Amino acid sequence: MIIGFVRHGETDWNKEGRSQGHRDIELNEEGQVQAHAVAKRLSAEQWDILISSDLLRAQETAQIISQLLKKPVQLDKRLRERSFGQLEGTTEQERIDRWGSGWESLDLNVETLEHMLVRSTELMHELVVRYSGQKILLVSHGTFIAVTLKHLLGGQEISTLGNTSISVIRKEVDCWRGEMINCFKHLGDGSDLYC
């Protein structure tokens, strides 16, 4: 079994450094270009199932991929980004202005990584049982993908994932093996050195 993770394309809030979390932000023009580029790349490969977060930026990315893969998009709320509570919509500077430099230690209703990992683990178990031996493509979000990969790959640190980056893991008998992490060579910026 192979699972590919695609981070959604760029949004204006990505560009501005605003925390998005569960906010429904659409792709900007650059994000649409990125989504078409990753779709073209993925269309040269065989994927059996396409599942997306239900948040708009991921759905838009998945719909563009779907057109070239000719696979319907299934939506799953468990693929949503981490909820950032009161931080959603703010930049780093706005957080400092509002709550001070120690804002990270405050209870601002941010979803814990443990809670996010519970829904991730539940989803991954379900995929293994339901789609054993198939190639599954998941369109999701940066924090969700990074935390999921770190957990499945035995604690391997995952650097910040680029918009429309692809990460691919393969199910072995008793573990997952990373085949490609954070690759966005389809954007043509020289990043193919890393994938």
8 is in an annotated binding site: yes
The catalytic residue among 8, 36, 141, 186 is 8
Residue 81 among the catalytic residues: yes
Q: What is the pLDDT of residues 123-159, one digit of tens each?
A: 999 999 999 999 999 999 999 999 999 999 999 989 8
Residue 8 among the catalytic residues: yes
103 is in an annotated binding site: no
For residue 132, the domain's CATH number is 3.40.50.1240
Total number of domains constituting the chain: 1
Domain limits for position 92:
2-194
Q: What is the pLDDT of residues 170-185, one digit of tens each?
A: 999 889 999 999 998 9
The catalytic residue among 81, 88, 141, 186 is 81
Name residue, tokens 């809670």: 115
Helical packing angle, 142-152 and 113-130, nearest 10°: 70
Predicted TM-score of the model (pTM)? 0.94
11 is in an annotated binding site: yes
Quote the distance between the C-alpha of residue 80 and its chain's center: 8
